[in-house]
Amino acid sequence: MEGQTWKTWRNIFNPGFASAHLMTLTPVIVKETLILCDVLRSFDRCGQVFQMKRLTDPWTMDIIGKVVLDTQLNTQTSENTMVNALKRQMRWLPFLGQLNPWERWHPFRPLVHWCNARTMNEYLYPELDRQIATFRAQSSEPTKSIVRLALQTYLAQDDSPKDVDETFKTFAISQIKQFLFSGYDTTSSTVCYMFYLLSTHPAVLDRVRDEHDRTLGSSLDQKVQKLKEEPYVLNQLPYSLAVCKETLRLFPTASTLRAGEPGFQVQDGQGRLLPTEGFMVWGISQHLHRDKTYWDQPDVFRPDRWLVGPEDPRYPVKGAWRPFEFGPRNCIGQELALIDMKIAMVLVLSMFDIAIAYTEIDRQKPRRPNNVNGERAYQATVGAPSGGLPCRIKVRETKAEGLI
């Protein structure tokens, strides 16, 4: 969507992604994260190496399904036909750089996309109708799901219809798919990298756990209770937020591609104006976030850089950190992503010690493992850690028995 159409629908969905509203959904995110902890506990019992990404993917998907549509996808514990169709749809997307003509213009792709879209619609339309029916029956009561808030905003517009029409349904389904598609893989990968960096930097991990214990309580039970009863306590974790920002600096999982326009220019570092007409403009966060021009020790994991004042050489340069991009078209789900990260950090690290298992996995391979700029957990395909981040996990003394 572009222009006024985009602006209208962005304004309709903005209230649901506002920080104040998302904080009310903290108990939902806590519940899904405790299910993740239960799944992680099973790998402690069996002692196997596992790919963290395979567990954070369904965790993120379940959270998005609940907060956006108030539906229980249950992908952490079972299969979901709509989610499976979405994943198949993603696998069948063509890559722009694909040189194999068979892969780039696969004759079966339109049919596969149609079948997957039908499967997703057969699940999502009844769920949307359920939300609409709930809204009609309880229109005076506070709403929780993002879709219901969007519906409330849509009907409150001066030129809107008096009741839900097909226009809303069509755009709502399109946006729900976009939220699922864009949100689950990016947040999942970022949480994996957060665990990776903390597990390989024990001093930072100790400081994070100390902040959690001081602010939320020493036991997991206390942390869970505090988060449910006082969700705004998440804003009292400055070092944890610094860890989130530093993770996103080192391993941004998304970037923005925009079509150039006649008369629109961008300015380079030397002050030259460059025309964009006929070009695609792509902001490469991975390069910008590690540019020595803007960052002190750009390749080093230093959460403290986010806690210093402007007089400090480590202080981040304005505009140099762009994991969610800037301006009116920035990522609408950035607040939800940060809340997810902080809750995962609090609960998972309170209960488990995570050991990265690349060395163990690499010993089983006959060839030398790949590294990118000396990084074994390099970003692959859509920004995920290579190999899905192989891990071993061990339960700490604090346990979450009876919380799920």
| Annotated binding-site members for heme | 331
Q: What are phi and psi of 379, to 5 degrees?
A: -80, 130
> How far apart are alpha carbons 146 and 134 in whole angstroms?
13
**Helices of type H across 70-145:** 81-91, 101-104, 109-137
Task: Count other Cβ atoms within 10 Å, centred on residue 216.
Answer: 23
Helix (H) or strand (E) holding 346: helix 334-351
Give the pair of three-digit tokens for residue 187: 């947040």
Cα dist from 192 to 136, 212, 263, 264, 292, whole Å: 40, 19, 42, 38, 25
Please state the residue numbers annotated as binding site: 331
> How far apart are alpha carbons 325 and 281 in whole angstroms?
13
Long-range contacts for 82-87 (Cβ within 8 Å, ≥24 apart)? Answer: 82/119, 82/120, 82/122, 82/123, 82/124, 83/58, 83/180, 84/119, 85/115, 85/116, 85/117, 85/119, 85/120, 86/116, 86/120, 86/177, 86/180, 86/181
> How far apart are alpha carbons 205 and 351 in whole angstroms?
13
Give the pair of three-digit tokens for residue 350: 């309170």
Q: Taking a C-beta distance cutoff of 8 angstroms, is the pair 196, 356 a contact?
A: yes
Residue given tokens 């979901």 in the structure block: 80
Residue 173's identity, in one-letter code, is: I
CA angle 301, 307, 313 (to 5 degrees): 75
- b/e 266-285 (16+ beta carbons within 10 angstroms → b): eeeeeeeeeebeeeeeeeeb
